[in-house]
Amino acid sequence: MRIAVYPGSFDPITNGHVDVLRRAGAVFDRVIVAVLVNPRKATVDSADDRVETIRASIAEALAEDLDRIEVMAFDGLTVDLCRRIGARWLVRGLRAVADFEAELQMAHTNRKMAPDVDTVFFMTALEHAYLSSSLVREIARFGGDVAPLVPTAVLRRLAQTDDRAAPAAAPLPSED
């Protein structure tokens, strides 16, 4: 069985992440979305909330792959997680050249620590090439409309939190 881990902060998950996940789901038998719990990196949402939002996003956007995609929180080294769950691939998205150097460094370092785990990159679809979680957070914080950038589950989550409330002019899509 080909098991891959897709690690990240996902604070919040964006349509770019969903795009990478969809394509990884077409290649691997199981994809584990691994949400980093990092006490040294301040995240807006707790790991548990991020896991919940990602699960809801997958249910809404990738329903056909539900049985093959799992979501979990983790701390420590990503390669240790891979070994624990028997994953031989790490999935990362590459948006623009700007991502390349940091991703290359991470891939080589992970490979040094775990030669049996390979990193696989998916080029993010062009329409998401300049999308990032931090931009989404900033736009939402100042009342901008992030509906075109994130799954509906994220909009619901943003609307629940005071300082990032969804703009009144952009009502949430109905549950229908």
Point out which residues bind ligand PNS (CB under 6 A).
7-9, 36, 77-78, 106, 109-110
Quick one: residue 22, left, alpha or beta (phi over 0 = left, psi -120 to 50 = alpha)?
alpha
Cβ closest to ligand PNS, residue 38 vs residue 160: 38
CA distance 17 to 104: 19
Catalytic residue among 9, 17, 22, 157: 17
133 catalytic? Reply is yes
Catalytic residue among 40, 41, 112, 174: 41
Cβ closest to ligand PNS, residue 12 vs residue 166: 12
Nearest residue to 110 via CA among 73, 83, 143: 83
β-strand pairing of 69-74 with 3-8: unpaired
CA distance 65 to 97: 30
Closest-by-Cβ residue to ligand PNS is 8
Crossing angle (nearest 10°) for helices 97-113 and 78-85: 60
Rounded to a whole number of angstroms, the minimum distance from the CB of residue 136 to ligand PNS is: 13
Rounded to a whole number of angstroms, the minimum distance from the CB of residue 175 to ligand PNS is: 29
Rg for the chain (alpha carbons), in Å? 16
Phi, psi values for residue 67, rounded to 5°: -75, -10
41 catalytic? Reply is yes
17 catalytic? Reply is yes
112 catalytic? Reply is no
Cβ closest to ligand PNS, residue 9 vs residue 15: 9
Segments in 64-175 forming alpha helices (H): 78-85, 97-113, 133-141, 152-160
Rounded to a whole number of angstroms, the minimum distance from the CB of residue 120 to ligand PNS is: 13
Catalytic residue among 22, 50, 92, 95: 95
Give the residue numbers annotated as catalytic, written as ranges: 17, 41, 95, 133
